[in-house]
Structure 1
């Protein structure tokens, strides 16, 4: 399973769990299932998108760290070559 598909599936299952909690809380506060359902419907769409974007941003941070690490390794190997040439 690709990381992107896994991220989407995790987003959906999390939203189901969280939306059930939201419905329960809103129903408890208002006693109105229609209001609770409306809030949960809006929340599902918004938060799936937000979660996906959040995960994507963190993946980019990870990729940036790996890129920086690769550059540091390249600089070290270049400086090792320069030291070897001077000796």
Structure 2
């Protein structure tokens, strides 16, 4: 199970990458750096929250986990 700080770090680095790609897409669509940045920021905040919640939920699900090369029999 990942620690909370690891989850936050993973979500942050993912969103930084997404922020830059969305800013570029927003700029290409609108022709405006400000509009592209606004679109990217809204997307980044929404995506960060959604990703973090998604990871928290999956960290509590044992299905498909492998420990020491052996699947968890309770996960089946």
Q: Could you tell me the TM-score, scaled by structure 2's length? A: 0.76
Q: Where do 1:1-87 residues align within 5 Å?
A: 3-62=3-62, 69=74
The structure richer in strand per residue is 2
Question: How large is the Cα RMSD of the aligned pairs?
Answer: 2.1
Aligned length: 67
Q: Distance in 2 between matches of 1:23 and 1:51?
A: 19
Q: Which runs of 5+ in 2 are unaligned?
A: 66-71
Larger fraction in helix: 1
CA distance in 2, matches of 1:51, 1:43: 12
Aligned to 2:68: none
Partner Cα distance (2:22, 2:34) in 1 = 13
Greater radius of gyration (CA): 1
Q: Which runs of 4+ in 1 moved over 6 A?
A: none
1:20-75 CA distances to partner (integer Å, 9 max, x unpaired)? 00000110111111110111111121111100100011111128x86x72xxxxxx
Structure 1: gaps of 5 or more residues: 70-87
